[in-house]
Every structure is written in structure tokens, then in C-alpha cells.
Amino acid sequence: MLDFNRRGLWRNSNATVRASITPTTVPIVVYVHNRPAYLREVLTRLSRVDGIAESLLIVSHDGYFPEVVAVVREFTFMRIKQRTTSKNSFPSRSPDDCPGTPSPITPAPDGCTGDSDQYDNFRNPFFVGLKHHWFWLMNQVWDEMEEFQNFDGHICFLEEDHLVVPNAYRTLQVLIAVKNARCPDCVAVSLSTGHRAHSPGVLGGEHFVADRMSNMGYAFNRTVWRRIKAQARKFCGFDDYGWDWTLECAVMASWAPGTLSLHAAGASVIHAGRVTHR
């Protein structure tokens, strides 16, 4: 998998990627598991977004699944690069993981890695893989990928079942400009309206809302990433399998009042899948 990442080239690029990134560029990261049909629809919707060719797309895989990798290679509408974790090492299943739930009859074997949670369960990648993948990809994008070493702007993050509407990219650019100028307590912007019910696909105009950070179509900059990374121990040690709940309760809880996310009056992203334990 390390070799796959090192060999990963930007597809559909006729210019030096680093030189083509401008202050208004919003790179997009889609993190995926193993649902190729969902991913194909997500990328199809992205291909119809106004201005998307100005952006860059990084697809981060939770393990190497050839069928999913092949889906990404079908698309040529923008510059695309793929990254993947290994299915046989952290953050996926690791040979050093402690198996199952310890008990007086079957205690945890000596030499395994990890502590049990409040219910005496050890790390189960099937449940916590998304959280660990999330933190892995953040490190990859912000700290490891050479193309973004000097990029301090916003990066937008989607999942494999988040469908965007045609105005999504332009909405991101508007939200970022308004956030920088008018919302000092905002740490992110979002294409989603969170728990608020608004009409999808409506550009906000003068109507913007500062609310809790959504877990769909959110974007933040390097300054926010550094604040998150500085509390990596809190993030990784918090006893919950969800990255979003962990971020809100264990990391951002100490940031008040600067914990808001700015979104428009209408959502520009739709959750097409169902909530599952991976």
C-alpha cells in the first residue's frame, strides 16, 4: 500500500499541480470504504458541479479494494489522486490488535496492543475504522502530500455516499469568503445545513447560518488542522467510534466560542446512504 501511495500520480493533469493551486482553490477529499456503486454516483454528481475542474480530488481508501479503485479510474473530469490504507495494518485490522472481549476465562493475550473501552471491548476495526481512517487521511493530506505543503487554505471532505448539487463548489468559495470576513468564531464551512431543514441546492445569498459543525461536506484550513492535531491524544483516546462525535466532544469542546461552522440557507449535499457500523 505504501508503494501504491508513492506511485500515485495525478490523473487528467497537464500541468504541475502545485503551481495550479490558487488561494481560491478548494481541494476535495472523498474517503471511501467498499461501496463502489455509491462511489460511482458520488463521482458522477461531482462531474456535474460548476467549476469543479478548478479543484483537485483526492480519494482516500479504507483498504485496497480493486473494484473501488477501478471506479475512480473511470472518471476524467478533474485532476484525481488516490491514497489507501492497508487492510492488514492500522488503521485497518492489525496483527497486534487484542481480539474480542477479555474475560476471566479468555483473558487478552500478552503482547497485544491497545486498551479496552468502558465496556471491556478492545479495538474492533469493523466499528472504529472510519474514525481511524479519518485521522490517518488528515495526516496524509495536510502533512504528507507534497502538493499541499504550502497550502494553508480550506479543504473540503466528503464520504462515499455524499451527493453534491451543481452549485456545491461555488457555494464553498462563497462560504469561505464570508467566513473569513464576517465570522471570527467559525472554524469551518459546510455544504450541509446540519439538523436544520432547508431546501436543497439553494445558494444562501445574504442568508448564512453559523451553527454546529456538520459531518457532511465540511471544509477547514490548516490552522484548524493544527489545533486538531495538537489534541491527537484526546482524539484517539476518546471512548467513541465516531470521528465527528469525538471531534465535537473531546477536541472542540475546549475551543469555545470558536467552534461554529458557516452554511448557506440551503443544503448543497445530500446523504444518500444509510448509517452503518463499518
91 prior amide bond cis, ω within 30: yes
Bridge partner residues of 218 (DSSP): 157, 190
271 is in an annotated binding site: yes
186 to 18, 37, 139: CA distances (angstroms)? 27, 35, 22
Q: Which three cell numbers stand for residue 2?
A: 505504501
Question: What letter does residue 75 receive in the DSSP assignment?
Answer: -
| Residues 251/228, Cβ–Cβ less than 8 Å | yes
117 is in an annotated binding site: no
The DSSP result for 20-39, as a single string, is H--TT---EEEEE-S-HHHH
Q: Could you identify the residue written with the cell 481508501?
A: 61
Comparing C-alpha atoms, which of 274, 266, 9, 27 is closest to residue 149?
A: 27
Comparing C-alpha atoms, which of 176, 269, 165 is closest to residue 215?
A: 269
Q: Which three cell numbers stand for residue 268?
A: 448543497
| Residues 211/267, Cβ–Cβ less than 8 Å | no
Residue numbers in the known binding site are 62, 161, 271
Residue numbers in the known binding site for substrate are 62
Residue numbers in the known binding site for Mn(2+) are 161, 271
